[in-house]
Amino acid sequence: MPAAGFVVVFMAAGGIMRPMSPDVRLRKPPRLRAGDRVRLVAPASPFAGGPFNSGCRVLRRLGIEPLVEREEFSREGFLAGNDRSRVFRLVGALQERQSSAAWCIRGGYGSARLLDLLRPEPASYHAKVLVGFSDATALLLAFSRPGGFVTFHGPVVTQLGRLPRGALQWLRRLLFDPRVPGRVPLGRLKTLVGGRTRGFLYGGNLSILASLVGTEFLPSLAGAILFIEDTGEQAYRLDRLLLQLRSSGALQNVLGVVVGDLHGCRPGGRGRYAARAVVERAVAELGVPAVSGASFGHLARNLALPLGVLAELDADRGRLEILEAVVS
């Protein structure tokens, strides 16, 4: 529940997200420690009990104790409860002192519906570990804009049960270790455009990014190394999403791109108009250092990535390296 005296503001957001610059560093959330409690939240779709229980067991193996309210199991059509209930629960998770993290249970659809109600002013929140991906991209971006704190594009609770050991070890390293993480073990990457660049890591689900075009909720990506993933989309839709981002100016001054998993996107295979080929071609046209085939997204090996931290992409060598600590 929200801390005493905190009021949720139900009105349109008043500020436009501004680009990161080297002079503006995001606050680092305190690292997780064995014995910490983490609050589980469902800001989007309802979830199945089996994957949820498996995910809770993984959290306990990490040495942290999941906390969940009965209301998180609500179901109203394709949403885990009405918008006001979900935003109230999310704010409570971020504000309470009895937990050290807010962890999304599932993606699906619905997180962006909270932005008008949430009116996220990240400077008013204490830095806290916030983990999610896919539909939660909207929330991760909202809290990691200047004045905010580092957030984590990583496996939701219902995905944790099938997370491979290596990805789980990397997740632990990010969230529990205050040292600079260094090279991200994204697997063997394909070079789309060679070169080397430094920028601030930003990104997430391509569909969600494109859906925010024309709203005050899409941050400037100038100076960013952009990472993207998606699931279940047709190749022409992926092309349309990237065209929308590019035509809107959102991709202007992006410094690099990392393409992750395109789980279930069709057609598959290696043809010229296969989903991945279409995305790779559109990304290459940006003319900035770019790689493809990174292990994050809806596949089992969903490697976590922090938003808003300085990183270096060496596209020639297929390497992404985080250059600063992500937790304090």
Q: How far is CA 190 from the centre of its chain?
A: 22
Q: Tokens representing 76?
A: 């109203």
Please tell me the distance from the alpha carbon of residue 157 to that of residue 41, in angstroms, as a whole number.
9
Active-site hit among 100, 134, 207, 220? 134
Candidates 229, 233, 292, 295; catalytic one:
229
Pair 202, 307: CB distance under 8 Å:
yes
The answer, yes or no, to whether the previous bond of 267 is cis (omega within 30 of 0) is yes
Q: Rounded to whole angstroms, how far apart are CA atoms 82 and 75?
A: 8
- Sign of the C-alpha dihedral computed for residues 184, 320, 199 and 112 taken in this order: negative
Q: Is 229 annotated in the active site?
A: yes
For 275, the token pair is 């989903």
Q: Specify whether the CB–CB gap between 139 and 130 falls below 8 A.
A: yes
298 given a catalytic annotation: yes
Residue 156 — φ and ψ, nearest 5°?
A: -75, 165
Q: Do 300 and 163 touch, CB atoms closer than 8 A?
A: yes
> Among the residues of 144-257, which ranges form H helices?
157-160, 165-176, 206-211, 235-247
134 is catalytic: yes
- Relative to beta strand 310-314, strand 196-205 is antiparallel
CA-based nearest residue to 124, from 283, 279, 8:
8
> Which amino acids are annotated catalytic?
134, 229, 298
